[in-house]
Structure 1
Amino acid sequence: MQLVYRAQNLIDAHLAKHALEDAGIPAFVFGESLLGGAGELPLFGVLRVCVPDAWEPQADAALQAAGLREPPADPAPDGVPGLLPA
């Protein structure tokens, strides 16, 4: 299995999974059952979307086509880092 997408939340993970499945690529969400855990689990990076090894190149192309490989938009106005609207 190859990691193709690290999700920020459960909806994000399933969005990527469904985009891959719509392209005919088998996809699996790992870490879903850990979301209710506490203690020594990290807060982020638990959800991972994986595909079988042979499907990795097609998965990357499918995620790019779905717009899931683009960097997040800058929320700062006028490109000033660190400042957010009130």
Structure 2
Amino acid sequence: MRIVYQAENIVDAHLVKNALEGAGIRAFVAGEYLTGGAGLLPAMDLVAVMVDDADIETAGPIVADIDAALRENRANPNAFDALPDPA
């Protein structure tokens, strides 16, 4: 398995994971339980979404669309738009 998305938080990781699974790609959230050690562990790069090596290329555009929507929503939180449909 390889990392396709380094998440800022668990919610973002699961949004990406769910989008990938909705497109028929098996995905795994790695490190989600490490966030329980906040304050004891470095706060960066704890949570990642992983897919099988064979699914890397297929997952790329889906992850890019979700990431772009998450960044846009963070930049302008009062203008919430729905995340793109992965199908």
- Aligned pairs for 1:68-79 within 5 A: 68-70=66-68, 72-73=71-72, 75=75
Stretches of structure 1 that go unaligned for 5 or more consecutive residues are: 76-86
- Name the counterpart of 2:56: 56
Unaligned stretches of 5+ in structure 2?
Answer: 76-87
- Is the partner of 1:25 in helix, strand or coil? coil
Deviation of residue 69 (structure 1)?
3.6
Q: Percent identity?
A: 43
Mapped partners of 2:45, 2:14: distance in 1 = 15
Q: Give 2:84's aligned residue.
A: none
TM-score w.r.t. the length of structure 1 is 0.74
CA–CA distance in structure 1, aligned partners of residues 45 and 35 of structure 2: 11
Offset, 1:68: 2.0
Alignment coverage as a number of residue pairs:
73
Note the C-alpha offset of 1:2: 0.9
Question: What amino acid is aligned across from residue 19 of structure 1 in structure 2?
Answer: A
Per-residue deviation, 1:42: 1.2
1:15 aligns with 2:2: no
Larger Rg: 1
Distance 1:48 1:68 in 2: 14
Q: Structure 1: which amino acid aligns with 2:68?
A: E
- Measure the CA separation in 1 of the matches of 2:67 and 2:57: 13
TM-score after normalising by structure 2: 0.73
- Residue type matched to 1:52 in 2? D
